[in-house]
């Protein structure tokens, strides 16, 4: 599907008008109806991922699920990704890994996160996702407004890098997510009980205090709040993907 600027903007406006108060499952269904095989779902298999994955699995178990295996994830996340995918019957979960060349050039000691989190996220998350999304016209995310920060203004549909991004859970509260997970007996990520309400790479994720924002433990102590996959692309900070 190709979009010119104006028709894409009009489509996004119509989707937001029609789906503004729709239930998440109806939004996932609308995304599938509109995009068919050109739709993917991006999941971290993190603290709240089971809800959206369960909805999608019930509607289209072979939906491509893109999972960013950065090489820096907790072992518990890798284990949860396998167990949850099998439990939900998802048949096309794709593990996206950073390119060897990018790691060899920019992060040969696997400690770039200590000095340059932007470049580290760029080569371990942004670029692998961009490569995988090349075959899709739209994707589904699990972001919610209650997560705060930039996400407070989140809409159900957005245009991002020429693709439609659907956010079916944008309107839902934490209580609604928890109620859905309980109703369907969905297994929690094993780190949730240890105080991790949002879970990414181990070097950049910390447990939070009671009452903190759910994402307060991500890049704690720095200004960074997003890894970059949900930000409009600027010129890459580094030359990547070259021969070594
Ligand atoms: S979250 Fe941290 S370890 Fe993971 S890619 Fe970003 S900077 Fe690197």
How far is ligand 1, taken at its centre, from the CA of residue 203, in Å? Answer: 7
| Cα 197 to Cα 49: distance, rounded to the nearest angstrom | 11
Name the residue of 124, 125, 221, 225 to mutate for ligand 1: max ligand atoms within 8 A of Cβ. Answer: 124
| Cα 1 to Cα 5: distance, rounded to the nearest angstrom | 13
Mean pLDDT of the chain: 90
Q: Looking at the CA of residue 201, tell me the nearest atom of ligand 1.
A: 4
Q: What percent of the chain has pLDDT over 90?
A: 73
Task: Assess contact for 66 and 131: CB atoms under 8 A.
Answer: no
Tokens of 115: 């000095």
Q: What is the DSSP string of 2-18?
A: ---HHHHHHHHHHHHHH
227 annotated active-site: yes
How far out from the chain centre does Cα 170 lie?
13
Q: Write the pLDDT tens digit of every residue in 133-143.
A: 999 999 999 99
> Helix crossing, 24-35 with 5-19: angle to 10°?
150
Q: Write the pLDDT tens digit of every residue in 114-159.
A: 999 999 999 999 999 999 999 999 999 999 998 877 788 899 999 9
- Strands annotated E in 80-153: 93-96, 138-140
235 band by pLDDT with thresholds 50, 70 and 90:
very low
pTM of the model: 0.91
């Amino acid at each position: 599907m190709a979009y010119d600027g104006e028709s894409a903007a009009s489509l996004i406006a119509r989707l937001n008008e029609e789906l503004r108060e729709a239930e998440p499952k109806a939004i996932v269904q609308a995304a599938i109806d509109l995009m068919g095989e050109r739709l993917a779902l991006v999941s971290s298999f993190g603290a709240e991922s089971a809800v959206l994955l369960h909805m999608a699995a019930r509607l289209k178990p072979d939906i491509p699920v893109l999972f960013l295996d950065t090489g820096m994830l907790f072992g518990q996340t890798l284990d949860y990704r396998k167990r949850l995918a099998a439990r939900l019957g998802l048949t096309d979960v794709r593990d996206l890994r950073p390119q060897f060349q990018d790691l060899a050039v920019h992060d040969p000691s696997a400690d770039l996160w200590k000095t340059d989190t932007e470049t580290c996220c760029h080569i371990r998350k942004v670029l692998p996702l961009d490569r995988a999304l090349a075959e899709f016209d739209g994707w589904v995310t699990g972001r919610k407004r209650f997560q705060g920060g930039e996400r407070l203004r989140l809409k159900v549909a957005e245009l991002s890098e020429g693709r439609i991004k659907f956010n079916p859970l944008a309107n839902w509260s934490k209580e609604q997510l928890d109620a859905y997970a309980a109703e369907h007996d969905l297994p929690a990520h094993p780190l949730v009980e240890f105080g991790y309400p949002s879970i990414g790479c181990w070097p950049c994720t910390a447990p939070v205090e009671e009452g903190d924002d759910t994402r307060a433990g991500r890049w704690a102590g720095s200004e960074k709040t997003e890894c970059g996959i949900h930000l409009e692309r600027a010129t890459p900070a580094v030359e990547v993907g070259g021969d070594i």
